[in-house]
Amino acid sequence: MRLSNLADYAVVLMSAAARHCGAARLAEGRLNATKLAQETGVPLPTAKKLVSRLTAAGLFESTRGIGGGIRLARPPASISLADIVEAVEGPLAITSCTIDGNHDCLLESGCTVKPHWGVVNRTIRQALDDVSLASLSDIPSTHMSHRSSRTQTRDGDHARSVSTSLDTNGIMAG
Please, what is the Cα angle at 7 between 2 and 13, to 5 degrees?
A: 140
The reply to whether 67 sits near a copy of itself by the rule CB under 8 A is no
Q: Which is nearest to 85 in space by CA: 2, 3, 144, 171? A: 3
In the three-class reduction of DSSP (H, G, I as helix; E, B as strand; rest coil), residue 60 is classed as strand
The reply to whether 91 sits near DNA by the rule CB under 7 A is no
The reply to whether 62 sits near DNA by the rule CB under 7 A is yes
Residue 143 near which of DNA, a copy of itself, none (CB within 5-8 Å, type-dependent): a copy of itself
Asked whether the beta carbons of 63 and 102 are under 8 A apart, the reply is: no
Query: Quick one: which of 26, 29, 38, 49 contacts DNA (CB under 7 A)?
Result: 49
The reply to whether 43 sits near DNA by the rule CB under 7 A is yes
Instruction: Provide, rounded to whole angstroms, the least separation between the CB of residue 168 and DNA.
Output: 20
Residues 60, 54: Cα–Cα separation, whole Å: 6
57/131 with CB nearer DNA: 57
Query: Quick one: which of 24, 27, 67, 140 contacts DNA (CB under 7 A)?
Result: 67
The reply to whether 45 sits near DNA by the rule CB under 7 A is yes
Contact positions with a copy of itself (CB under 8 A) in 8-27: 8, 11-12, 15, 19
Residues 86, 10: Cα–Cα separation, whole Å: 11
Residues 135, 139: Cα–Cα separation, whole Å: 8
